[in-house]
Chains A and B, each alone.
Chain A
Amino acid sequence: MLDALSKNISDQLNTGILILDHDFNILMWNRFLKVHANKSDKDVIGNSIFKVFPELPRKWFERKLSSVIQLKNQSFCSWEQRHHLFELSHSRPITTDSDFMAQNCTFMPIEGENGAERICILIEDVTDVCHYQTQLTKVLQELALANRIDGLTQTFNRKHWEECLASEFSRAVRYKQDLALIMLDLDEFKVLNDTYGHQGGDIALIETAKSINELLRMGDLFGRYGGEEFAIILPNTDLAGAEEVAERIRIDIANNIIEFQEQNITVTVSIGVAVVNEQDLRYEDLISHADIALYQAKKLGRNRVCIAKKKVVA
């Protein structure tokens, strides 16, 4: 009675059951597998698993099964490492984008009649888990990105930008590499806001960020430091290199015409440039050198680049 009962239960299970002999021929399978593999008993029972499921990675599979037999231990294979082993249809063909059933497989040694070595493979449908986990991972990635980005200008926000600077600074100091910092501020932004309204000011910020972005190299780290203030970290860049970049940015922005409600807005920027030197102990020192140079640029009449003065040690 128990046999009939077990057969009944195993055919109702939403888990695939496959029993192999030690030559990897299929001795038994349950209804779940039959339905999802869409094959008939006569093509399956007694045949090698590699003939029935040619998609299996044969060498890997054989090594896996031999460990089960030799060590008499369970072995596992999760969808996180291999999405699926068997190409089976699944129960959410409409509401997920998965071609095949995502699977968690368990390989178990079992004893057949007369102590014969058999392997039982359990195949669990985890398409659901896989689907939601994949979505969750995507959302978490988006969230992590959103955490780093300034919503208006799509540049790094202050917090993330400062974290970048902190790590670039300690790297530069440790390996005695060049590191330059550019800080720039839109000139007379208050006047611009008063003239065109805040929407106009926003457009000016967005467009300025865009033009700067086009001039930067891979590896440069660009962020919005404050209201109308931006900052750029230039790793492995000396003073001359940084000054050249700053000058190009200044000219480019001054020449850029921003269209806003059928009016043409032009903006200019004042720029301070500093490079890391041996006296700098903290990344904040670098910021304050660039900030002083920026203030200098403003004082000298705006729309210009000023270089932080190198401190002379007596």
Chain B
Amino acid sequence: MSANVLICDDSNLARKQVFRSLPENLSTNVQLATNGEEALEILRSQNVDILFLDLTMPVIDGLGVLQALKDENIDLPVFVISADVQPEMQTRVLNLGAKAFLRKPIQLDILNEQLRTHGFL
């Protein structure tokens, strides 16, 4: 069974980096969004199983997406992948319901370990 995956990042390079790091079972149905607003549109209208979310983005940033998901009762596992690694930011993200915080640039073994922890591997 393959999951529906959404990668949201304003950087093309970063989206590629995440996409290439995904295990096989997560890399067949992948959609991309370049900012929080685009991501929310997809999340509201389609069934997404897992979201990889950047924080520092134009239009609606990652925190905005997490807040909207919470407000609109859209429940799905979110893995935040961000360069903003300040402890306070990590706490904020987890408090808003994210499953995990991964630091950029994404590292394959750490991603796999997190996916395994949360039952995606």
| Touch between chains A and B, by CB atoms below 8 Å | no
Identify the B interface with A (CB < 8 A): none
Binding site for B on A (CB under 8 A): none
